[in-house]
Structure 1
Amino acid sequence: MTLEWAKERPVEYKIIHQLESYGYTYLHGGSLESERTSKSDVVLEKRLGQSVKRLNPWIDDNNIHKVIRSITHLDAPSLMENNEALFGYLVNAISVPQDLGQGKKNQTVRLIDFEDIANNEFLVVNQFHINGPSETIIPDVIVFINGLPIAVIECKSATVTEPISRAISQLTRYQRDVEKLFWYNHVMIACCDVQAKFGSIGSKARHYGEWKDTYPLLKNDVGSNSTPQDILVAGMLTKENLLDMIRNFVVYEVENGRTIKKVSRYQQFRATNKTINRILNEDKGGVIWATQGSGKSLTMVYLATKIRRLKQLNKPSIVIVTDRTDLDDQITKTFRRCGFPNPKQASKVVQLRDFLTHANGDTIMTTVQKFQESAEELGLEVLNDASNIIVMVDESHRTQYAGLAMNMRTALPNAIYLGFTGTPIDKEDRSTLQTFGPYIDTYSIQQAVDDGATLPIFYESRLPELRVEGESLDAIFDRVFIDYSEEDRERIKKRYANEESIIGSSQRIRQVCLDIIQHYENYIQPNGFKAQIVAINRETAVLYKEILDELNGPESVVIFSGNNNDSEKMKKYHTTKEQQKAFIERFKKPLKEDGLSFIIVCDMLLTGFDAPIEQVMYLDKPLKEHNLLQAIARTNRTYDKKTYGLIVDYYGVSLFLKKALAIFTSTDVEGALTNISAEIPRLETRHCSAMRFFDKVNKNNIEDCIKILEPEDVRHQFEKHFKRFSESMDMIMPNPVAAPYREDLKFLGKLRQYAKNRYRDEKLDISDCGEKVRKLIEDYIISIDVESLHKPISIFEKNFDYKVKGMTNDQAKASEMEHAIRHEIKVKMKENPVFYSSLKERLEELINRHREKRINDAQLAWELEQVIEEVRKQNSDKESDGLTSKTRPIFQLLQLEWTNSYEDNEKVKETTDTINESLSEYLIDEGISDKEDLKRQARAEIKGILRKAKAPREKLDLLAQQILELTIINREK
C-alpha cells in the first residue's frame, strides 16, 4: 500500500491496517486476477480447494472439485435461501462419498476450522472487481475466509453528505447487481471512521446497527482515541470473534412465511460470552439484565446454541423456565422459528418430571408454576443430579424465588442457574443475586433507545378531573355521582366507595372511552398503529368493551382469565386459548389488513407480549415498580415509521412516577418515561433548523427557494432537518400547540416535492413521513397545484415541452432541462455508455460556460433544447442511419474502440449487424443473465466475429464482454 493510496482512501486504508494487526493477510484485488477464471467469480476457488485439503487431509482431488462445485452452483430461487444453505455448510459441514478403507461412505468435509483458528486463511482484499449480469462492482474491502467472501465493507469519507446512508445504498445495490457475492455473506459494514454500522443480507437502512463494544478486548487495547469504526472492527472482525459469530450468533427466523436473517447485536454477543466464561471458569450462574424489547429471547437462543457446543460440558441439557404460559409458548416458538433442534415443551408436571429425569443433551421448556405449585407431585426429590444442566429463568422476579429456589434446586441440585430479566434489580432486592449470583451483564433502557434497539416511551396525562391522585377519590366520587341526592351519595359511599368501584363506575368509564376514541382517531390511527387498554379489574375491562362498542369506537376485544363463578354478563366475554391466540394474531397485523384496533386487558398481556404495531397504552390501573416497567415496554418495539411509544395515563401513575421508580438505581431507569411536553421545545428547535435554509430568499418565490436546494449536499442536510421537524409535528398534531407550525410544514412539504421533481431526487419522498404529516402536505399541494404530485416528466413525454414553455423565466427553464438531461444520463448510461459519457461531458461544458458567464440564461436554455433533441433522436427507432436504439450502442462502442474513418465505419456497421443477428438466438432465453455457460458461448461468438473483421486483437476480450452486457441490457429494457 503506497502512501499516496493511503491518503486517497484513508478509511479503507485504516480498516486494512487494523485487520493486518489482527493477523489478516492483505492483498490488492488486482493481484488475485490470475487466480480467477472470470471476473464474475466471487469465490477464490484455488484457495478454497487448498483450504479444504488442509482441513480434510484424506479428501481426494475429485471430491475437492465436487465440494467447490456444490457451494458455487446453488440453485435456490432466492438470495436468502442460498445464504442459509451456505451457512448450513459452513457451520455443520458438507458431506461427500469417499472410500477411506472401509468402503465408500459419506464423509464430513469441514470448510472452516472453528476449533483451531490458525488452520484457516484470513484475507483482507480491496478493489476487487466483480462482473455482474449487467454491472461491474468494486466493493472497497472484502474479507475472505478460506477463499469465501464472508464480509463486504463499503467505506466513505466522513466529509461527504450522509456517508453511512450512501454506503448502505451501495451495499443494497451490490446485492441486486451481483447477488452471488452475498451467498457467502455473514455481515455487511458501512463506515466512514467516525461512524460505522453493520447489517445482514436483506437489511433495510433502519435495521443497520452500531457495534459499541470491543469485548473481549478492552477499549484501551484498541486505542485511547478509537473511533466507532475501530470499535466495530475490533468487536466483529478479530479472527476469534468473527468465527464465533458465524458459528453461534446467526439465526434464520421465519416470520409470517418470510425468512429473516438475524445477526447478533453487540450486547447479545457480550452477554452470551460473559455467561459462558462464568460457567466454565467459575462454575456458577448469575443475572443477565437486557431491557425489554432489546432481544433478550434471542440472547437465550444464542447462549443455548453455544452451550450445546461446549465439549467441556459433555452434552449439556438446557432448561428454559418462564413464569407465564404465554411466555412459555412465546419463547418455545422463538427457539423453533430460529431452527433450534427439537425443544421439548412440558405441558404437564408429570411430563416435566420425565423430561428432567431422563435429560441428556435436551432442551426443555417449562413454567415455574410446575415447580412451585406442584411440589408434592414433583416429589421434592432429586430428579437429576447432573452438573451439566443449565437452567435459564426468564423474567426472574423475586415473588418466585422462594418456591423456585427450594423446589427446583431440590430437583436439580447441581445445575447452574441463570436469571434473565427485562427490568433492573431494585435496591431492596437481595434474593435475586442470592438465588442466581451477581450480574453477568447489563443493557439498560437508555442504551437500548440510543442504539435504536427500542423506541423512547413518552407519557401524557389525560382528563385530570377523572384521575386518581392519592386522596382524590372523594372528588371523583362527587363528580361521578353528581346527579344523586346528598343522602343517596352518602349511602352509596359507605357501601361502595372503594377505589375499584369508583374507577370502574360507568359514568367515569364513558368519559374516558370518549377521550380514548378521540385521542386514538386523531393521534394514533392515522399512522396505522394500534392500542392496548389496561383496566383496573376484569369487570371494568368488560365495561370498557361494552361502552366502546356502544359509542361506535374502533373494533376491540377484551381478554381476561375467566372462571366458573363469573356472572352471565362476564361469561359472554370468556375466550378459549385458541380464540385469544387468534385475537392476538389479528392485532399484530397491519391496520389496513385487520381493523382490530384495541386489546382490552387487566392483567394478561402486560408481560411477554410483543406486538410492534402497538404504539399506545391507555393506562387506567395502578402499576408500580417492576410491573410498571414491564407494562409500558409493550409500546417500545420498533416498527416501520414508528418513532416512539406512548402511555396515556388516566389513573395518575405518571404523577407519582418518581416514587414508583425510586426503588431502582437512577441510572438504571434513566429514559424509562418522558413527558410528552418535553417534545414542544424540541419541536421549536427543529422548526428553526428546517426553516433556516430559506432565511435569505423570498419565500413567496418558489424558484428562488428551489435554487437553494440545487446542491445535493444541501438537499441532504435539508432532508435530515425536515424529517426531524415532521417527526415532532406528527407526534404533536392535532394538538393546538402545533398550530403555529402547520403553515411552515406545508410550505416545506410543497418545496420538497417541487425539488424532488426538479432534481429527480427520489429520496425527497413524502411517503416516508407520518400519515398525519403526509396527508396535510398532500392536501395542501393538491389545493394549489395537482401536477406537483405527479412524477417528474421525462424529456420523451409529449407534455415536457409544454411544461418548460409555461415556466416564468429562462433560469427556471434551463434548470428544468438541465436536471431532466442529467436524469436521462443517469438512467441510460448502462444502455449506451459511449453516447451518454459524451453527452455528460457536453452538458458539464455548457454548465461551466454559464457559470463563468460566457452564456446567459436564455442562451443556456437554447443550447439545452438542442441537447434534448439529440437525445430524442438517439433513442428513436427510426433507421435513418440504418441503426436502431438497440444496435446503435454497439455501433458507437465499436466506433470508439476501433476507428473513426468513414470507410471503416461501414465495416463497423456490418460487424454490428452480424453480431446482432448472431446474438438473437442466445437472447431468446430470457434467463441468460444467470446462465454462465450461455454467456460464455455468446462471448466466444462475438470474439469470432470481431476477429474475422480484424478488430484490435488486444481488445477482443473486453469488447466481447461489453457488447454482451449492452445487448442484454437493451433487450431487457
Structure 2
Amino acid sequence: MRKILRERSRNLNREVWESPSVYGGEDVNQAHNLLQAVARVNRVGGANKDKGFVVDYVGIGHHLKRAIDNYDEREQQEIEETLSFPEDEIRQLEDDHRKIIALLKQHGLTDLNDQDAFFDLFYDEDVRFEFMLAFKKLTRSLNLVYPAKEALNYMRDYQSLTAVNILAGKHFRDERLSMKGIPPKLRALTDQYLQSRGIDEKVKPISILDKDFESHVQKHQRVKTKAAAIEHALRHYIEIDLVDDPELQASFSEALRAIFEEFKDNWDKIYQELEKLRQKAREAKNEPTYGLDRKKQLPFFRMFKRECFGEAALTDDMVSQMVALTQQVFTVVEQELQLTSFWESIPARKKLRAEIQKVLLSPDFFQIPNLMDNREQIISRVMEIAEKNNDRIF
C-alpha cells in the first residue's frame, strides 16, 4: 500500500508541474502530503505490524477524499483498495470470534473455562487443527483492532482461549499449541491473565517418569482426559527418550498399540492399562545394568534377551552368558566404527556383519537358545542399534 500511495503522490506532483492550470498548487501540496502521511503509517515495522490506522482527529477525511478524486476511476479504485478503515477490521473481528465460538458449540463445548472438556474435544486431531486455525485468525483480527474500545468486548474470551491453547499444548505434547505468533501488545495482556491463573508457559510438560506425574493426572475429572494425558506422555517418552534404544522403543510402541486395539473406546480399561505401561517405563529406568554401560551397551543386551529368551526370566547363568555376548559384540562394533565414513562404505558394513557372525557362532555361546536360528535377524538388529547410537558409541 505504501509503495502505491507514494507512487501516486509522485505522479500527482509531476502532473502539476506539467499542467499548472489544471490544479491549484496548494490543493496539490495538500493532496501530496495526505497521501504521504497515509503511506508512512503503513511503513514496514517488523513481523508484528500488519497495518497502521489513520485516525481523523481534525476532520481531514474530506481532504483525503478530494486527494483521491484527482485520479481517474481506475487509479481511484487501486488506491481505495489499499485503504481500509477500522469498521472493516471490527467486522472481521466479530466474524472470527463468532466462528471460533460456533466451532466449539458445534462439538458441545460452551464453557470456555472447562479445560477437561477442551482436552476431550482436542483428542480428535482434526478438531484440534481447526481450533488452531480459528485461534490464529482471531489473534490477527484482535491485534488489528486493539486498543480500540470495541476490542475489549472480546478480550475475556480471548484470554480464556489463550489459556486453553497453552494447557492443551502441554496435555498433548503438541508444540503447535503455544504462545508463538501472539503479537507483543496482546502478549502483555495474556501474560498477566495466565499469571493470575497460575499458568507458566515456560514450564515443560511433566514427564511420565516424574514422581509427581500420577498426582498431576488425578487433577483431571474425566477418565478419558486422564488416559489421554498418560497416552501422550508415553508417546513423547517413546519417540524422544527412547530414540537411541530401538529395542525398548519397539517394545513400548507395540504395547501402546495393543492397548488401543484391544480396548477400543473403553476408556476405563484403557486408563488402567496405560497406567500399568507407565509403571513399566519407570521400572525400565531403574533396571539393573549388570555392569554394562546403560547408554552404549544395554540396548544390545535387551535386544539379545528379546531375540533369544523372549519374555522369559533369566537365571544368573543366562545373564552371565548374555553379558559376555553383549560385551564381545560391542567390542567388535566399537572397533569397526572408528573407520572414517563407516556407514557410507558397503565393504565396511559387510566386514562388520561378518565379524558379528563370528562372535555369534563362537562355541562360548552355543547354549544360548535361538541364537543360531535367529542370527541373521540378530545381526541386522545389531547394525540398526549401532547406526542409531553411532555418536554415542564412538
TM-score with structure 2 setting the length? 0.74
Q: CA deviation digits over 1:99-129, x for unaligned, max 9?
A: xxxxxxxxxxxxxxxxxxxxxxxxxxxxxxx
Closer/same/farther in 2, CA of residues 939 and 679 from structure 1, 3 Å limit: same
Q: By how many angstroms is 1:955 displaced?
A: 6.2
Map residues 325-340 of structure 1 onto 2, 5 A cutoff. Answer: none
CA contact (8 A) 1:919 1:938 kept: no
Q: Provide the rounded CA distance (Å) in 1 between the counterparts of 2:8 and 2:304.
A: 69
1:916 aligns with 2:325: no
Any idea what SS the aligned residue of 1:697 has? coil
Q: 1:953 to 1:870 in 2, by over 3 A?
A: closer
**Structure 1's 934 and 812: CA in aligned 2 closer, same or farther, altered over 3 A?**
closer
| CA distance in structure 2 between the aligned counterparts of 1:795 and 1:965, rounded to whole angstroms | 27
Corresponding position of 1:673: 83
Cα deviation digits, residues 317-360 of structure 1 (max 9, x gap): xxxxxxxxxxxxxxxxxxxxxxxxxxxxxxxxxxxxxxxxxxxx
Cα distance, 1:906–1:630 mapped onto 2, change above 3 Å = farther
Separation in 2 of the partners of 1:832 and 1:655?
Answer: 72
Q: CA deviation at 1:733?
A: 2.2
Matches within 5 A, 1:71-470: 423=8
**Cα deviations by residue, 1:419-450 (Å, 9 ceiling, x for unpaired):** xx95599699899xxxxxxxxxxxxxxxxxxx
Report the alpha carbon displacement of residue 966 of structure 1 after superposing the two structures with TM: 2.3
Contact 1:942 1:960 in 2 (8 A): no
Matched letter for residue 78 of structure 2: D
Counterpart pick for 1:753 among 143, 158, 166: 166
Q: Distance in 1 between matches of 2:166 and 2:229?
A: 14
1:608-667 CA deviation, whole Å, 9 max, x = no partner? xxxxxxxxxxxxx97535982696167343732332234445565544333322315244
- Aligned pair 1:964/2:386, yes or no? yes
Tell me if the contact between 1:831 and 1:966 (Cα under 8 Å) persists in the aligned partners: yes
Q: Residue type of the partner of 1:802?
A: S
Amino acid paired to 2:327: D
Shift of 1:794: 0.8
- Measured after TM superposition, the shift of residue 922 of structure 1 is 8.0
**Aligned position for 2:19:** none
Matches within 5 A, 1:497-516: none
Q: Compared with structure 1, are the counterparts of its residues 968 and 682 closer, same or farther at alpha carbon in structure 2 (3 Å cutoff)?
A: same
Tell me the residue number matched to 1:683: 93
Q: Alignment partner for residue 869 of structure 1, among 279, 292, 296?
A: 279
Q: CA deviation at 1:742?
A: 1.3
Structure 1 residues 749 and 892: alpha-carbon distance in aligned structure 2, compared to 1, 3 A threshold: same
Structure having the larger proportion of residues in strand: 1
The match for 2:46 is: 639
How far off is 1:693 after superposition? 3.1
Code of the aligned partner of 1:688: R
Compare 633-642 and 932-941 and name the one that shifted more.
Answer: 932-941
1:11-65 deviation digits (Å, cap 9, x = unpaired): xxxxxxxxxxxxxxxxxxxxxxxxxxxxxxxxxxxxxxxxxxxxxxxxxxxxxxx
The equivalent of 2:135 in structure 1 is 722
Superposed, which structure 2 residues align to 1:581-660 within 5 Å?
623-624=30-31, 628=35, 632=39, 635-637=42-44, 639-648=46-55, 652-660=59-67
Contact 2:217–2:226 (CA<8 Å) still a contact in 1?
yes
Q: Find the aligned partners of 1:955 and 1:670 in 2 and give their Cα distance.
A: 71
Written as runs of structure 1 = structure 2, the 5 A alignment for 1:789-828 is 790-828=203-241
Amino acid at match of 2:212: N
Partner of 2:368: none
**Superposition deviation, residue 763 in structure 1:** 0.8
Correspondence for 2:124 among 711, 717, 730: 711
| Counterpart Cα distance in 2 of 1:891 and 1:749 | 47
2:210 aligned partner, one-letter code: E
Partners of 1:782 and 1:789 within 8 A in 2: no
Whether the 8 Å contact between 2:357 and 2:375 is mirrored in structure 1 is: yes
Task: Give distance in 1, aligned partners of 2:343 and 2:319.
Answer: 29
- Say whether the 8 Å CA contact 1:830–1:969 is kept in structure 2: no
1:808-845: CA deviation from partner (whole Å, max 9, x where unpaired): 34333222111111221222353223332332232233
The Cα shift of 1:749 comes to: 0.9
* Equivalent position of 1:763 in the other structure: 176
Distance 1:425 1:632 in 2: 12
Match of 1:932 among 341, 352, 357: 341
Distance 1:848 1:957 in 2: 31
Matched, 1:693 2:100: no
Distance 1:852 1:811 in 2: 9
Task: Give the aligned residue type for 2:326.
Answer: T
Match of 2:157 in 1: 744
The aligned runs of 1:810-849 (5 Å cut-off) are 810-828=223-241, 830-849=243-262
* CA-CA distance at 1:960 after TM superposition: 6.0
TM-score by length of 1: 0.33
- Which residue does the alignment assign to 1:37? none
CA distance in 1, matches of 2:393, 2:127: 38
Question: Alpha-carbon deviation of 1:741?
Answer: 1.0
Whole-angstrom CA distance in 2 between matches of 1:846 and 1:644: 51
User: Aligned-pair distance for 1:867?
Assistant: 0.5
In the TM superposition, what is the alpha-carbon distance from 1:715 to its structure 2 partner?
1.4
Task: Quote the Cα distance in structure 2 between the aligned partners of 1:741 and 1:679.
Answer: 13
Higher relative contact order (CA 8 A, sep 6+): 2
SS of equivalent residue, structure 1 residue 797: coil
- When residues 633 and 735 of structure 1 are mapped into structure 2, their CA distance, relative to the original with a 3 A threshold, is closer
| Deviation string, structure 1 residues 766-804 (Cα, Å, up to 9, x no partner) | 142012322322222221234676221111223212312
SS in 1 for 2:141: helix
| Cα distance, 1:687 vs structure 2 | 0.5
Unaligned runs of 5+ in 1: 1-290, 295-394, 396-420, 432-498, 500-620
**AA matched with 2:39:** I
Does the CA-based 8 Å contact 1:914-1:945 persist in structure 2? Answer: no
1:698–1:848 CA distance, 2 compared to 1 (3 A): farther
Which residue of the other structure, out of 134, 144, 147, is the alignment partner of 1:734? Answer: 147
Q: Identical aligned pairs, as a percentage?
A: 22
* Structure 2 residue runs without a partner (length 5+): 17-25, 362-371
How far residue 674 of structure 1 moved from its aligned partner, in angstroms, is 1.0
Provide the residue aligned with 1:778 in structure 2.
191
Contact 2:247 2:299 in 1 (8 A): yes
Deviations 1:534-556 (A, max 9, x none): xxxxxxxxxxxxxxxxxxxxxxx
Q: 1:709 to 1:807 in 2, by over 3 A?
A: closer
Gap change, CA 1:626 and 1:800, over 3 Å in 2: same
Counterpart residue type for residue 687 of structure 1? H
Q: What do you get for the CA RMSD once the two structures are aligned? A: 4.2
Match of 1:462 in 2: none
Provide closer, same or farther for how the CA distance between residues 913 and 655 of structure 1 changes in structure 2, counting only shifts above 3 A.
farther
Contact 1:757 1:792 in 2 (8 A): yes
Matches of residues 57-68 of structure 1 in structure 2 within 5 Å? none
Q: Distance in 1 between matches of 2:381 and 2:260?
A: 32
| Equivalent position SS for 2:175 | coil
Q: Could you tell me how far apart the structure 1 residues matched to 2:348 and 2:389 are? A: 11
Distance change in 2, residues 1:915/1:748 (3 Å): same
Aligned-partner Cα distance in 1 for 2:10–2:197: 58
> Is this contact kept in 1: 2:9–2:32, CA < 8 A?
no
SS at match of 1:843: helix
